[in-house]
A and B are shown apart, each in its own frame.
Chain A
Amino acid sequence: KAGVTQTPRYLIKTRGQQVTLSCSPISGHRSVSWYQQTPGQGLQFLFEYFSETQRNKGNFPGRFSGRQFSNSRSEMNVSTLELGDSALYLCASSFRRPAGYNEQFFGPGTRLTVL
């Protein structure tokens, strides 16, 4: 079974630009969650999608948004990038929800650098 895939793996943007990250979950998994990891920090929860609906949202500004498609693939968008948005963005999928109560399978992440 193929694992969670994330594209692109690396991205360099400048302040003020916007970015879209993509995540393909494990086949059959309908829950997709997004996390931000900065150096020395644990993962910070961004949002969870299940059946194309956002089911849970972390404490991030509205510049961070996401969506899920009918095939469970998910995208995350960050608008008006700031230097502090530089981080590793991780996507995780699980068969059931809520994500925090079930084993999640993580992708390798997208490393975003904002200059």
Chain B
Amino acid sequence: DQQVKQNSPSLSVQEGRISILNCDYTNSMFDYFLWYKKYPAEGPTFLISISSIKDKNEDGRFTVFLNKSAKHLSLHIVPSQPGDSAVYFCAASASDSNYQLIWGAGTKLIIKP
């Protein structure tokens, strides 16, 4: 039972354009969401997070949008740069499970020159 789903295994975007990575979840108790980025042979690195009391959070080129009614989360990267090529993981947690992180399977983003 996948509670956090990233339905696109890969995404290819032109450099300079917008990258949109999507994430769906099934557990309505999730109240905190995070995005991590992972390069090959390295551990994931934290990108951005959002609490369920918000619907948007921005940090530089990265913006996360949360649609609670649709149980949908998206990460926007504008403009996309070659260094953004990596695997992006969406993760969610809930206070009733002591904030145990549940992860999606990841989306591989490829930025084309």
Contact = CB atoms under 8 A, between A and B. Distances in A.
Interface residues on A, range: 20 to 34
A44 B100 contact: no
Instruction: Tell me if B's interface is mostly helix, strand, loop or mixed.
Output: loop
A98 B98 contact: yes
B41 interface: yes
Interface string A14-47: 0000000000000000000101000011111100
Contact of B43 (A44, A56, A106): A106
Contacts of A103: 46, 49
Nearest to A3: B43
Interface stretch (B13-21, B64-72, B102-110): B102-110
B43 A108 contact: yes
Interface of A: 4, 33, 35, 40-45, 48, 55-56, 58, 90, 92, 98-101, 103-109
Interface of B: 4, 6, 9, 32, 34, 41-46, 49, 89, 91, 93, 98-106
20 contacts: A4-B43, A33-B101, A41-B105, A42-B4, A42-B103, A42-B104, A42-B105, A43-B91, A45-B100, A56-B100, A98-B93, A103-B49, A105-B43, A105-B45, A105-B46, A106-B42, A106-B43, A106-B44, A107-B43, A109-B43
